[in-house]
Every structure is written in structure tokens, then in C-alpha cells.
């Protein structure tokens, strides 16, 4: 019984596996599924299937779903999110240009957002900029304050890492950090068009907000950061080494952002 598993300090999945129908079927596949689920705790069955196929194991999604359900490996998402946007200001607001864009390559549209992260005794804040074409994190900053310098830090990183094209649009919500004089001045200095979401419309910045949920479920909620330095180290590793380099995206044909960019960047003729 499940109580016996607890008494013996066995994993909960052991009980479900032994008592599930066809529990002895597909032992090699079951082991492979569990290894991927252990490495990527927030992956659903579709991403687990894609990861197995990338490793050379041809498998049906329905079979992976069955095995994950039998082993109690399907994740449930119930947390609610706290918004950090303060749009109650008198700074200039810019029109929403994003719906008019047909994004077909990198550095056409950058999207950004800010979220909070809980430490042992305080909150800290993370600002992130993504390339909308590849979903790659191209700029980020972690600070103890929600002041404009937080968003500027992420923007400076993106500007140093990427090529600013004449058609580049920067899209954000109406938060005071993004509407501030210093932030918009830096965008204008690089001839980047400014776009902002409509008031109260979460769908206008859905891509950036979706990323923040991924970050929370696949990194932040799995740890308990005690210090700013610990949080910075872990989040940096997740953004640069895990999310950009390894995490599969359904919108990218189940490729990681860096690999997607490499496959979709045309070589420059000499």
C-alpha cells in the first residue's frame, strides 16, 4: 500500500507503478520517461515525447501520456500570479504595434516583462527581454527594487547582445518603468519603435507573461532561495544554460531557442 512505501522511504511512484495496469510493460520506455520527467519536472507529456524523440527514441504521445499518468508524473498548475505592473502614471503611452507585425526573423520584435521572486526574508524583482521570433532570453536584470534601473539593466544587456535593425519594435506593458523618460530615451537613441499593450489586456503581452510562468514553475517554485547571490546564480543558469539552450518549445517545433535561431538564420554572403 502507499503507506508501506512511505514507511520504507520509497518514491510514491513505486506504489503506483506496481499497482497500475500493465505495470511491467515497456520497462525501458518507462525508465526513459521517468528520467526525462526527473530532469524536467514541469514538462507535460507532449514535451516529454519530444525530448525522447530528440534522443532517438520513437514513441507515441498516447503511450507516454499513459505511462506518466500511471506513474503520477503529470504536473498540475494551480498557483496564482501577482502582477508587478504600475500603469497609474501620467507618462506618455505608446500605441500597440505588435498585432500589426508578422514576425519572420530575429530582432523584429522584442517583448519584456517584470516579475517578483521571494527570498527568505524579502522580495526581489526580475526584468526580462525576449526575442519574439525565437523566444530566446536576450536581456535580463535582477534587483531589489522596481525602479527604472531594473528594466534598463535588461535593456542594456539586450542591446549589447543583439543587432538592432531598422524594423525593430520593443513591446511592453504600460508599466512606469517602461514608460519612464530614461527608458524610452534609450530606445529612441537606438531608433527602436516603442509599442505598449492596451490597458487591462493581458493578451497583448502574452508571450512575455507566458515565459514568466515557465520561469516560476520550472525554476523558482522548485527552490527556496535564501540570498540574492543564490537567486542570481540559479536564475542565470536557468535562463542561459537551460531555457535558452535546452528547453523545448512547442511553438518552435519542439526546439530550444538557440537551436531554433541557428536553424533559421541565413548565412551572410561574403
Q: Are residues 122 and 27 both part of a single domain?
A: no
**For the residues of 96-161, what is the DSSP string, one character each?**
--GGG----STTSEEEEEEEEEE-SS-EEEEEEEEETTT--EEEEEEES--SHHHHHHHHHHHHHH
Whether pTM > 0.85 for this model: the answer is no
Q: Are residues 35 and 168 both part of a single domain?
A: no
Domain that holds residue 61: 2-70
The total of structural domains in the chain comes to 2
Does residue 59 lie within any of the structural domains?
yes
The pLDDT profile of the chain, 270 residues, written as one tens digit per residue, is: 444 444 445 455 544 444 444 444 577 887 787 777 777 776 777 888 888 888 888 887 788 888 777 766 666 555 554 555 555 557 889 999 998 899 999 999 999 999 999 888 888 999 999 999 999 999 999 999 889 999 999 999 999 999 999 999 999 998 899 999 999 999 999 999 999 987 655 567 889 988 998 998 889 988 889 899 999 999 999 999 999 999 999 899 999 999 999 999 765 444
Cα separation, 23 vs 83, in Å, equals: 44
Q: Are residues 28 and 149 both part of a single domain?
A: no
Cα separation, 199 vs 122, in Å, equals: 29
Amino acid at each position: 500500500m502507499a503507506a508501506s512505501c512511505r514507511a520504507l522511504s520509497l518514491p510514491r511512484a513505486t506504489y503506483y507503478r506496481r499497482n497500475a495496469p500493465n505495470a511491467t510493460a515497456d520497462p525501458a520506455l518507462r525508465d526513459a520517461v521517468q528520467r526525462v520527467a526527473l530532469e524536467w519536472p514541469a514538462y507535460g507529456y507532449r514535451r516529454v515525447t519530444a525530448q525522447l524523440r530528440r534522443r532517438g527514441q520513437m514513441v507515441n504521445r498516447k503511450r507516454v501520456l499513459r505511462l506518466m499518468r500511471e506513474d503520477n508524473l503529470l504536473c498540475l498548475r494551480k498557483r496564482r500570479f501577482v502582477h508587478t505592473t504600475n500603469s497609474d502614471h501620467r507618462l506618455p503611452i505608446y500605441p500597440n504595434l505588435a498585432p500589426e507585425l508578422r514576425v519572420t526573423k530575429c530582432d523584429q520584435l522584442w517583448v519584456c516583462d517584470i516579475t517578483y521572486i521571494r527570498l527568505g526574508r524579502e522580495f526581489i524583482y526580475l526584468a526580462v527581454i525576449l526575442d519574439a521570433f525565437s523566444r530566446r532570453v536576450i536581456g535580463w536584470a535582477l534587483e531589489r527594487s522596481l525602479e527604472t534601473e531594473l528594466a534598463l539593466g535588461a535593456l542594456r544587456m539586450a542591446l549589447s547582445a543583439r543587432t538592432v535593425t531598422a524594423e525593430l519594435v520593443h513591446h511592453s506593458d504600460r508599466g512606469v518603468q517602461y514608460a519612464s523618460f530614461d527608458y524610452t530615451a534609450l530606445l529612441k537613441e537606438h531608433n527602436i519603435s516603442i509599442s505598449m499593450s492596451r490597458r487591462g489586456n493581458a493578451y497583448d503581452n502574452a508571450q512575455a507573461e507566458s515565459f514568466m510562468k515557465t520561469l516560476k514553475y520550472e525554476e523558482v517554485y522548485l527552490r527556496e532561495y535564501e540570498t540574492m547571490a543564490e537567486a542570481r546564480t540559479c536564475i542565470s543558469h536557468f535562463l542561459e544554460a537551460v531555457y535558452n539552450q535546452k528547453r523545448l518549445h512547442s511553438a518552435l517545433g519542439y526546439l530550444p531557442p538557440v537551436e531554433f535561431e541557428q536553424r533559421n538564420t541565413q548565412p551572410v554572403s561574403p
